[in-house]
Amino acid sequence: IKPTRCLVEEKQRYLKIQQEDETVYVAYFTINSIVGELDFPSSEIFYYQQQQFTFPIDTSMNVEIVANRKALSTVRNKKKELKDLDNHAWQSDNETSSNVAEALESVNELETNLDQSKESMYKLSYVVRVSANDLDELKRRCNEVKDFYDDLSVKLVRPFGD
């Protein structure tokens, strides 16, 4: 597909790409969250998942290295935000939600790890592209891709309008 020779219509959840001889529908997913931890070996799914499907998918992975000092600063700012949420709940005689409590625990662990190891942190951007010749097939393929990642505790989302 050559973008200069296509008519691209942006819909809320997909792109409609028209060429002279065919129309293709395309949807994009990004990682919303990874529940738990991906163990190695077996986290190679990010490299080999194309082999799991009977249709082609494209993936784009961008990794940014965040220096230790900047990573610690970011983690400590997030820790302050979470403590503020915790204090606000306590002051209003409510219990802190389990999400906030778990996030605080994770942030403390990450801060300790970064402080002791002096290692950099990595920021990952991961996009999955699914395409089909009609909307019904696109929906079926999107569901299959989402289910595959769900089984591996990776939650994908289809952004609206992006």
Q: What angle, rounded to 10 degrees, do the helices at 98-117 and 68-91 form?
A: 150
Tens digit of pLDDT for each residue in 74-104? 999 999 988 888 888 888 888 877 788 888 8
pTM for this model (two decimals): 0.70
Query: Considering only CA atoms, which of 25, 1, 2 is closest in space to residue 12?
Result: 25
pLDDT of residue 61: 84
Q: Print the SS3 string covering 102-158.
A: HHHHHHHHHHHHHHHHCCCEEEEEEEEEEEECCHHHHHHHHHHHHHHHHHCCEEEEC
Q: Looking up tokens 């909307």, which residue turns up?
A: 135
Quick one: what percent of the chain has pLDDT higher than 70? Answer: 88
Q: Is the peptide bond before 159 cis (omega within 30 degrees of 0)?
A: no
Tens digit of pLDDT for each residue in 8-35? 888 888 999 998 888 999 999 998 877 7
So where are the chain's domains?
3-60+127-157, 68-117
